[in-house]
Structure 1
Amino acid sequence: MHSEFDLITRFLTPASPQAGAGVSLGVGDDCTLLSPTPGQRLAVSVDTSVVDVHFPAGAPAEAIGHRALAVSLSDLAAMGAHSRWCLMSLTLPTADDTDWLEDFARGFHALCDATGTALVGGDTTQGELAIGVTVMGEVSPALSLTRDGARPGDLLAVTGALGGGAGGLALWQQGERDLGHPLLARYLLPQPRLAAGEALAGLATAAIDISDGLLADLKHLLASSGVGAELEAASLPLAEGLVEALGETRARDAALSGGDDYELLVSLPAEHLDEARKRLAASDLALSIIGHISASPGITGIAEAVRGGWQHFSGQADDGVTP
């Protein structure tokens, strides 16, 4: 039987030194001591991933580790923040499955390394598998992206493609297990759009990450900004293989309401569009116009039947599309 401290030392302590990463005191004490960059605001967010709610129990441990961090980092991306540090709270049914823990830690640490995020502390306990990840980033006060800046006349745009999360879950439920499949990769190995968020800072007027579905998250942005939106449903960028997997109608429903896409939804003035696309081209990431902001409340341009979104406490989407 492994103790809590054995687990932390073996699997949850970064292999590389943290000196120079703004970490004065890292894993191993009651608190970590951090040194934010002078003049920057600290952006902080937390997400919890629970087995068979946010990921299937049979998913590869390495993918679970990656995904648990990625969904939290996506919130930093939506603020235009530069990722710096993270904390992890890990609840495990048993501490004896060291092979699973090694794979989980490999996926988590790999994304830490890829995004320049230092794991600086956390906690472990016993229970149903769940991972809580708190992320901390930095953003200039003048450049932070929020949900409340959209204005009538702004364009509405999304990075990347939509519907892949819902499409990947559908394939998993049908027995697909190859993470090389683009839809399954989008579901289990989402890529937080940190570089895109930083690139769009100063150009976008408002932003949110698409975790609960395009429509649900758009409603949050519109409510914060006190505006409405007119969507162009035919302009939605659909994830690779989505139509083939779900058919045209279900694919568009998944793009609107499926959730788990972790792309960025932004509003921006038309005169900033060319510069925004130029900046994102460095990351080989598309920016698609899907509508515009209007003064009248509500969302127009789509059928009422597909206006749902993921509801955490009901366990399903409003429109029956499971993310």
Structure 2
Amino acid sequence: MKEFELIKEFFTAQPVSRKDVAIGIGDDCALIRANDNKLIAVTTDTLVAGVHFPLDTPARAIGHKAVAVNLSDIAAMGAEPAWISVAITLPEVDEEWLREFTAGMFELTEYFNVQLIGGDTTQGPLSITITAQGLVPEDKALCRNGAQNGDYLFVTGNFGDAGLALAAINGQINLNDSDFAKVKAKLDYPQPQVLVGQMIREFATSAIDVSDGLLADLSHICRASTLGISINVEDIPLSKALTDNLEPEDAINMALTSGDDYQLIFSVPATNKVGIETAMAHANVEFNCIGQLNTSEEISLNYKKKPFTVKKVGFEHFSMNA
């Protein structure tokens, strides 16, 4: 199967056709109609086999995750996702693999009304690069540098499950079948908090999604906003699978440092605290307040009012041996 046959067979038969797409797949560029008084949020993420997902990960999970990690970035800006383009490098044309891969992609794109508008295919080691674009009102975009002294720090969901799954896959811990299935689903099928992102933009001053680890991504808000954060680590939400299989401090360490959670961290001023809590409760969204921002420009971790020390920081895209 040649490149353009592959594209026609697997990537054009998608369930979404947006009115703001003038020209989609099939030309040198896609053409989209931008809306007045809105900014276009653009993000790009690459997933490489053996680096960002285990080599034996099912094709459907890879397709889902490739889209999810990009939509998570869109969610962190408070934007509504609209379009994606996909560049995929394949070792060979495996038609069954491609059917499963695109099924995983299109499950998410259909749910969030996102249209695939272009991309590229080539041969080589398996990797997927997706560029996602979305729309956000010009005065509502959530940026990392918007946090303010005294803001409360909230998180959605819970943390550490994907890290626990990887630890089990790598033979570092033994899990029963039930717990492994639960945390493996978190690793393979992360759920981007798109609707939450649009909700919190009415209340929050900054936001970021957690991809490289809670602590590592918190540091980005600190640096961008020139602020510090005091965290009560016992308030970090943990799943039963995590607490059942690790000692309390090890579970917290896993939650702080492992990546692939794709939940949201966001800061909220005191004047909006009741409002955000009410909105999230009415929407039945799982959320927790884990700390508060200050002027120290440092991250302070406290466990039951005593300093807490982590064993590692988080995922590094590039690392060098000493």
- Counterpart AA for 1:189: Y
TM norm structure 1: 0.92
Map residues 7-86 of structure 1 onto 2, 5 A cutoff. 7-16=6-15, 18-20=17-19, 22-86=20-84
Q: Which residue is 2:266 aligned to?
A: 266
Map residues 134-149 of structure 1 onto 2, 5 A cutoff. 134-149=131-146
> Residue 84 of structure 1: CA displacement?
0.3
Counterpart selection for 1:160 from 157, 162, 168: 157
Map residues 130-279 of structure 1 onto 2, 5 A cutoff. 130-174=127-171, 181-279=181-279
> Residue 283 of structure 1: CA displacement?
4.3
Q: Which runs of 5+ in 2 are unaligned?
A: 303-307
Q: Which residue is 1:89 aligned to?
A: 87
Within 2, Cα distance between the matches of 1:146 and 1:19?
27
CA contact (8 A) 2:165 2:180 kept: no
* Aligned residues: CA RMSD: 2.0
Q: Which residue is 1:321 aligned to?
A: none
Within 2, Cα distance between the matches of 1:17 and 1:312?
33
CA contact (8 A) 1:64 1:107 kept: yes
Within 1, Cα distance between the matches of 2:217 and 2:18?
38
**Aligned pair 1:310/2:308, yes or no?**
no
CA contact (8 A) 1:149 1:225 kept: yes
> Residue 310 of structure 1: CA displacement?
1.2
Counterpart selection for 1:129 from 113, 126, 130: 126
**Aligned pair 1:293/2:298, yes or no?**
no
> Residue 257 of structure 1: CA displacement?
0.7
Within 2, Cα distance between the matches of 1:17 and 1:111?
11
Within 2, Cα distance between the matches of 1:245 and 1:257?
17
CA contact (8 A) 2:258 2:315 kept: yes
CA contact (8 A) 2:76 2:197 kept: yes
> Residue 182 of structure 1: CA displacement?
2.3
**Aligned pair 1:98/2:103, yes or no?**
no
Over 4 Å off, 4+ runs: 174-180
**Aligned pair 1:118/2:115, yes or no?**
yes
CA contact (8 A) 1:40 1:140 kept: yes
Between the aligned residues of both structures, percent identity stands at 38
CA contact (8 A) 1:45 1:75 kept: yes
Within 1, Cα distance between the matches of 2:155 and 2:90?
36
Q: Which residue is 1:6 aligned to?
A: 5
Within 2, Cα distance between the matches of 1:218 and 1:14?
39
Decide whether aligned partners of structure 1 residues 18 and 305 sit closer, same or farther in structure 2, where only a CA change above 3 A counts: closer
CA contact (8 A) 2:18 2:115 kept: no
- Tell me the secondary structure at the aligned position of residue 122 of structure 2: strand
- Counterpart AA for 1:265: I
TM norm structure 2: 0.92
